[in-house]
Amino acid sequence: MSESPQQTTLGDLVECDLVIESVVEDLAVKLPLFAELDSICKPEAILATNTSTLPVIEMAMATDRPDQVCGVHFFNPAPMMSLVEVIEPLTASEATIASAIAFAEACGKSPVRVKDRAGFIVNALLFPYLNNAARMLENGTATAEDIDEAMKGGCNFPMGPLALLDLVGLDTSVSILDALYDEFKDPNYAAVPSLRRMVSAGRLGRKSGAGFYDYSRK
Ligand SMILES: NC(=O)c1ccc[n+]([C@@H]2O[C@H](COP(=O)([O-])OP(=O)(O)OC[C@H]3O[C@@H](n4cnc5c(N)ncnc54)[C@H](O)[C@@H]3O)[C@@H](O)[C@H]2O)c1
């Protein structure tokens, strides 16, 4: 696959072998985009999504090439994180999955293959922990700093859960939890009230300058 220069309109994607969608975590936005990409991109192109949790099958079925749609899920910050989850919806061909794995390897990443279930591997396991850290802060068990310090020092994690929520973005995190809860109805996936209130207040984490921590002077 050849490298393309930066493009700014969908029409510029016509010659791409692989397109990875990474717009806001909202199926209502992604589905029409997949239909549009399907009409624009060359017939042999693979259309992939970087979604963290949403059903890839829905995006596949929004196209006339469901066998050529899969998930290619990078982790934040993508240049530093070695993992890519390659997500396999029911409709994907083996050739599509093999191409996505080859692409991830060509990017220097370590791909893992996973079925199309909300949260795939990492976020299905990670988000109950992040949500419960926000709950712990909400309950007044400890300060944000001490919760993060405890998980770094006690578990050797590179960053604490509340700092990680700020990095992911609280709006994206609530969308991820909602998609997980929608699929599994597990109370651990039900976003705690304080997360939603922070999103309503525009405290989205690093990208807005404030979340659990203040980034305005950093
Ligand atoms: N934030 C993370 O840590 C992270 C990690 C891995 C994957 N992802 C996934 O990547 C995707 C984007 O996440 P994010 O955190 O960057 O979201 P975000 O909400 O911060 O940014 C989304 C961007 O998409 C743009 N956008 C919205 N609709 C669009 C459209 N129709 N066409 C083109 N652009 C459009 C918005 O203007 C915005 O710039 C989501 O699917 C998310 O689940 C996020």
CATH H superfamily, domain 10-115: NAD(P)-binding Rossmann-like Domain (3.40.50.720)
30, 65, 73, 109: the catalytic one is 73
Ligand 1 pocket check for 81: Cβ under 6 Å:
no
Per residue in 105-147, pLDDT (tens digit) is 999 999 999 999 999 999 999 999 999 999 999 999 999 999 9
Residue 3: pLDDT band with limits 50, 70, 90: low
| Architecture category of domain 122-208 in CATH | Orthogonal Bundle (1.10)
The per-residue pLDDT for 144 is 98
Provide φ and ψ at 153, rounded to 5°. Answer: -75, -35
% of the chain exceeding 70 in pLDDT: 97
Say whether pLDDT at 2 is over 80.
no
Say whether pLDDT at 1 is over 60.
no
Q: What is the CA radius of gyration of the chain?
A: 18
Per residue in 136-193, pLDDT (tens digit) is 999 999 999 999 999 999 999 999 999 999 999 999 999 999 999 999 999 999 999 9
The per-residue pLDDT for 47 is 98
The per-residue pLDDT for 217 is 76
* Interatomic CA distance for residues 165 and 108, integer angstroms: 26
Residue 7: pLDDT band with limits 50, 70, 90: confident
Sheet-wide strand order for 18-21: 18-21, 46-49, 69-74, 83-88, 110-115
* Interatomic CA distance for residues 217 and 8, integer angstroms: 31
The per-residue pLDDT for 4 is 59
Residue 8: pLDDT band with limits 50, 70, 90: confident
Mean predicted lDDT score pLDDT of the chain? 96
* Interatomic CA distance for residues 63 and 51, integer angstroms: 17
User: Taking the domains of the chain in order of start, what are their residue ranges?
Assistant: 10-115, 122-208
Ligand 1 site-directed mutation target among 21, 22, 49, most atoms within 8 Å of CB:
22
- What is the reported pTM? 0.93
Listed range (5-19, 30-44, 188-202) with the worst mean pLDDT: 5-19
Ligand 1 atom closest to the Cα of residue 169 is: 1
